Amino acid sequence: MTSQSDSTEPGNDLLIHVCPHCKTTHDMAAQITDGPTDPPLSGDISMCAECGMLSIFDDVLALRVMTTEEEDEVLSYPEIIKARFLWEAVRRDDVWQLENEDDTE
């Protein structure tokens, strides 16, 4: 599985892919599970750092929307649950910081 990025990993910074949900172009991906650290493979799952939606790398390493069956399966993976929880926590923190900045006036 991949999501947002770590440009120190060789090869990963050359992968350009577009989120099929929000159309954000990503030029990096980072693996969040144990295993080889090479660029993503066909069938690997991606979570968009911009919108938090899940997609899957196809045969030419473009991202596509998952089928309902694929999504039902991966939503039970502990790594996916943790990644989505962290993404949502970061988003909430952004909102919290903006609210606090408004309070200081």
Binding of residue 48 to Zn ion (CB under 5 A): yes
State in angstroms the smallest separation of the CB of 101 from Zn ion. Answer: 26
DSSP string of the chain, one letter each residue: -B-S--TTSTTGGG--EE-TTT--EES---B-SSS--SSP-TT-EEE-TTT--EEEE-TTS-EEPPPHHHHHHHTT-HHHHHHHHHHHHHHHHHHHHHHHHHHT-
# chain residues binding Zn ion, by CB under 5 A: 7
- Residue 51 or 105 having the CB closest to Zn ion: 51
Query: Of 15, 18, 32, 51, which lies in the binding site for Zn ion, with binding defined by CB under 5 A?
Result: 51
Binding to Zn ion by CB under 5 A, coded x per residue (else -) over 3-42, reads ----------------x-xx-x------------------
Binding site for Zn ion (CB under 5 A): 19, 21-22, 24, 48, 50-51
